[in-house]
Amino acid sequence: MDRLIGNISIIESVKVKIQKGRNWLLRFPKSYYFFITLYVFFYAFHCFWNWDEFMILNRSLELEAVNSGKQVSLLRLYPFQIIAVFVSAALYFLVCVGINVLFSLGCKEGKILRTHFVELFRNLIRLFFLFVCVLFLGNQILGYFLHSGVYSVLVIIFWTSVFLLFIIENGKLYRRLFQSTDRNTLLISHSLGYVNPILFVFFVLILANL
Same domain, 2 and 38: no
Same domain, 186 and 85: yes
Q: In this structure, is residue 176 part of a structural domain?
A: yes
Which residues form the domain of 9?
1-30
Nearest Cα neighbor of 131 from 175, 98, 105, 168 is 168
What's the rounded Cα separation, in Å, for the pair 142 and 161? 14
pLDDT of residue 4: 47
**Where does the chain have alpha helices with state H?**
2-27, 34-49, 51-67, 81-103, 107-142, 151-177, 183-208
pLDDT of residue 24: 43
Query: Which residues of the chain are modeled with pLDDT < 50?
Result: 2, 4, 24-25, 210
Same domain, 187 and 94: yes
Q: In this structure, is residue 132 part of a structural domain?
A: yes
Instruction: Determine the residue type at 154.
Output: L
Total-model pTM? 0.74
Q: In this structure, is residue 67 part of a structural domain?
A: no
